[in-house]
Structure 1
Amino acid sequence: MAYRRLLLPLTGTAAGEAALSTALIAARIWQAHVHCLHVRVDARDVAPLAGEGLSGAMIEEMMAATERESGDRAGRVRALFERFTSAAGDVTLADNPDTAAKSQGPTLSFSSVAGREEEVVAQQSRLYDMAVVPHPEAGEDVSSSDALHAVLFDSGRPVLIAPREVPQDIGTRICIAWNGTAESAAAVAAALPWLHKAGAIRILTAPEYQRRGPAAEGIEAYLRWHGIAVEIVTFKPQTREVGAGLLGAVRDFDADLLVMGAYSHSRLRQLILGGVTRHVLENADIPVLMCR
């Protein structure tokens, strides 16, 4: 079992560059291919403004300005990709599986397309084993991470959220956040390749985190059937914050990957009231593998 094809929605931000480095670490582990996809703003999306009282000439000018800005941004992102691949040294550019199969290491490719980022990324992610997405920028509300939520809710694939700082390694020590939900079960299934390679695995559980479904002992038994040994640890919320308690337990284990389900409560409820998923998305400092 392995991940062979990873999708990275590439942006020109610092978080985007950290995600690119994180994706390459994963690609080196799995001898995988990373496709970097930049989604340009489609100038035609400006056209609906015709109903807002703007003249045709004004709309055409806005479309032209959007096209220029989008093209400039795409050029900067492409330049970032080229600088990165030149500095990496051990990667091969490949745009098809036959070329990639001849490589002795990870392979990369790049494309830039016009469209709505969340739609394009979610749809294209369905053709990959996993999507790697940037961590929300510092100070950014996690609810504004459209690409991240699109992959989680509409791709049917796991998503690896890269940390803001590039990790040293991924998947040598793994924590599983278990609460008995279908989402957490999907995350464990998606993480099986990582779990088979890990040196140590800990299942984290808490009464405040558990939902209706199997207890941690059930998933421990499931993993034993796969030949994977784990230990179960009950963590305590910190000042009533379950997410903070979970991340504290992850740090105590010195984990370099957290596996968990996303939004076992509704996304709207978590975005308004807060929740474990939101807290982890905003505060995790290691890669997080999520499924919805």
Structure 2
Amino acid sequence: MPLRKVILLLNETAAGKAALDTALDTARLWQSHLTVLHVRVDARDVAPLAGEGLSGAMIEDMMVATEKESAVRAHDVRVLFEQAVNTHGVTIGEPRSGVATANFVSVAGREEEIIAQQARLADLTVIPHPEAGQDVSSSDALHAVLFDSGRPVLLAPATPPASIGRRICVGWNGTAESSSAVQAGIPWMKKAETVRILTSEDYQRRGPGAADLAAYLALHDIRVEVATFRAIDKNVGAGLIAATREFGADLLTMGAYSHSRLRQLILGGVTRHILENSDLPVLMSR
């Protein structure tokens, strides 16, 4: 199924700019409609955080300051959107068949709640890469889409990719999560120039192997090659990233959190390593 609706969660950071470029390239590739969503802080959420000992007037001042700051940020993000749309040759307006279009929406609320809800009626949601020094495992927006939307997510790289979806790697380990990612990736694979399945004894779980996946994709008229990679210093995620670089991939599709998120947070894991270290777009599902 082709991608018809893409959502991008946009903030004013440098990573947000890279994600915007990635999302616009995706919209052009699929001639789809891109909704750029900016979530402002709801001033009403400030009051419970103010704590005791503050007068009503002080809390009201804090709410007014929050609204002003949010309005300035929303304006800056909209300017960023309009500039990027012009650069990428995407039309601002309502969805139109055969044309890449985009619109900008700014709403107040809790970011993780709004993006998860909106993602449920989108073919793909693009999330910016975490800023340097941030822990991607604490990204509420990313995990809200993964765990609460039922839809795939594309983690944009920290810098805009030169291309997306021409050379695709599939990280396969036989799990239900990787199966879901394959389904999300099939439309991309049909467009790709070449596809490689990456498999490893250190990564494989109980379930179908890479050869089984290759046979399944052949039924969809997708011809693939299979390559084995090895963990680097016992780190499967590092080995997987090295394999994508060796292949010159511009998209990695893989399942997210075959182990629990808590276990990966405490002990580390393939998903966490990929999210924190990958320098190419990652299409994830679970």
- TM-score (structure 2 length as normaliser): 0.96
2:93 corresponding residue in structure 1: 94
Question: Do the aligned partners of residues 172 and 69 (structure 1) sit closer, same or farther apart at CA in structure 2, a change above 3 Å counting?
Answer: same
Superposition misfits of 4+ residues, deviation over 4 angstroms: none
TM-score normalized by the length of structure 1? 0.94
How far apart are residue 86 of structure 1 and its match? Answer: 2.9
Q: Distance in 1 between matches of 2:188 and 2:111?
A: 28
Most deviating of 249-258 and 206-215: 206-215
- Alignment check: 8 A CA contact 2:39 2:109 kept: yes
Q: How many angstroms apart in 2 are the aligned matches of 1:188 and 1:17?
A: 28
Asked whether the equivalents of residues 251 and 280 of structure 2 are also in contact (C-alpha less than 8 Å), the reply is yes
Give the Å deviation of 1:50.
Answer: 6.5
Alpha carbons 1:49, 1:59 under 8 Å: kept: no
Partner AA of 2:152 in structure 1: P
Secondary structure of 1:52's aligned partner? coil
Deviation at 1:47, TM superposition (A): 2.5
Name structure 2 gaps, 5 residues minimum.
Answer: none
Paired residue secondary structure (1:289): strand
The superposition leaves residues 220-266 of structure 1 with CA deviations (integer Å, 9 ceiling, x where unpaired) of 11111111111211110001110000001111111111000001111
AA aligned opposite 1:29: L
Stretch of structure 1 that moved more, 135-144 or 180-189: 135-144
Provide the residue aligned with 1:147 in structure 2: 141
CA-based RMSD of the aligned residues comes to: 1.3
Q: Sequence identity of aligned pairs in percent?
A: 65
User: How far apart are 1:51 and its partner, in Å?
Assistant: 5.8
Give the distance between the partners of 1:171 and 1:83, measured in 2 at CA. Answer: 24
* Contact 1:50/1:56 (<8 A) preserved: no
Instruction: List alignment gaps of at least 5 residues for structure 1.
Output: none
2:229 to 227, 230, 235: 235
Q: Are 2:131 and 1:137 equivalent residues in the alignment? A: yes
* Distance (Å, rounded) in 1 between the aligned partners of 2:51 and 2:236: 47
Are residues 1:47 and 2:47 paired? Answer: yes
The answer on whether the counterparts of 1:130 and 1:157 sit within 8 Å (CA) in structure 2 is: yes
Between Structure 1 and Structure 2, how many residues are aligned? 286
Q: Residue 110 of structure 1 aligns to a residue in which SS?
A: strand
Q: Residue 276 of structure 1 aligns with which residue?
A: 270
In the alignment, the residues of structure 2 paired with residue 197 and residue 190 of structure 1 have an alpha-carbon distance, to the nearest angstrom, of 13
Secondary structure of the structure 2 residue equivalent to 1:209: coil
1:22 is matched with which residue? 22
Q: Distance in 1 between matches of 2:137 and 2:63?
A: 27
Q: Which of 175, 183, 199 is 2:177 aligned to? A: 183
8 Å CA contact 1:91, 1:108 repeated in 2 = yes
